[in-house]
Amino acid sequence: MFELLGITPQGLAAQLLVGLINGSFYAILSLGLAIIFGLLNIINFSHGAQYTMGAFIAWIGLTQVGQWFGFPDFSINYWFALILVPLVMAGFGLILERTMLKRLYHLDHLYGLLLTFGLALIIEGMFRHWYGISGESYPAPELLQGVIPLESIGIILPKYRLWVVIASLVVCFSTWYVIERTKLGSYLRAGTENPKLLQAFGINVPLMISLAYAYGVGLAGFAGVLAAPIFQVNPLMGSNLIIVVFAVVVIGGMGSIMGSILTGLALGLIEGLTKVFYPEASGVVIFVIMAIVLLIRPAGLFGREK
């Protein structure tokens, strides 16, 4: 059989598909980060923790809420959680923004990063304290359990993973459309640069900023729910991911919406291939790419040069 570097074409196709799945998580998380960075000038270090929180809330909804209120049979199912959790997270984001982040806008990026870093520690610590480190498992919804056996071409694809790719692509691209192709988008970009002035032109910038943060956090929550059935729901699931997602945002170009989506997907693929051909390096490949990109294109692949 025809083989390339010890791997069959079918195998390669499967690997690319799997890479794409990871890429969708990168895309959806880095999209949230990019929106927040773009508008608030804050590097939202707690993004990972908020993703974790999304997964945990979904799990709590499914298995715990009923008991809390004395109706052991009551539970919030996956589909419901997929809508509810992002909303809850957005509300949480709104509170954070109104009470804390708001005070940091006039300062260096650094402070936002430190504050959200602190928040991440608190959130992570709480879940660790309540639910331990090993985490909890969350079953995929009935509808999406099982695999799509494409054995003729040697690929077995879990239905759920396919759903993840579709769901996140839809969310990513509709977000992109709203931001880049509508008036709202130019407000967002202008607001990034000079929020005070934009206000003087009659735009409710504080509200816009709050909503943007809430939306970003909501996206993290959404990604959390999507991830819950794949990965163990555990307090560290986000912090392991977040550094990589930062790199994605930087490679894509900080604040560039399309950049973060495409780079997220592409890096998922590249990382997947690295895992096949040189697995030891899969942890570092993204950083190598980041260094190269920044040296060649300082503003990132899709970033605007200042």
Residues 195-234 that bind another protein (CB under 8 A): 196-206, 230-232, 234
Which of 73/134 has CB closer to another protein?
134
Which residues lie below 8 Å from residue 17, measured CB to CB, with a gap of 6+?
155, 157
Binds another protein (CB under 8 A): choice among 54, 86, 135, 218: 135
Report the nearest approach of another protein to the CB of residue 223 (Å).
13
189 touches another protein (CB under 8 A):
yes
Which of 117/173 has CB closer to another protein?
117
Selected range binding another protein among 52-60, 66-74, 78-86, 153-161, rule: CB under 8 A: 153-161
Determine the Cα–Cα distance for residues 13 and 134; give it in Å rounded to an integer.
Answer: 33
281 touches another protein (CB under 8 A):
yes
Residues 229-258 that bind another protein (CB under 8 A): 230-232, 234, 236-237, 240-241, 243, 246-247, 250, 254
Report the nearest approach of another protein to the CB of residue 121 (Å).
3
Residues 56-85 that bind another protein (CB under 8 A): none
184 touches another protein (CB under 8 A):
no
- Ordered DSSP codes for 164-232: HHHHHHHHHHHHHHHHHHSHHHHHHHHHHH-HHHHHHTT--HHHHHHHHHHHHHHHHHHHHHHHTTTS-
Report the nearest approach of another protein to the CB of residue 219 (Å).
19
Binds another protein (CB under 8 A): choice among 64, 65, 66, 117: 117
Binds another protein (CB under 8 A): choice among 42, 47, 90, 124: 124
Q: Site mask, another protein, residues 16-35, x = CB under 8 A? A: --xx-xx-------------
153 touches another protein (CB under 8 A):
no
Binds another protein (CB under 8 A): choice among 134, 142, 152, 181: 134
Which of 83/128 has CB closer to another protein?
128
Binds another protein (CB under 8 A): choice among 118, 143, 153, 174: 118
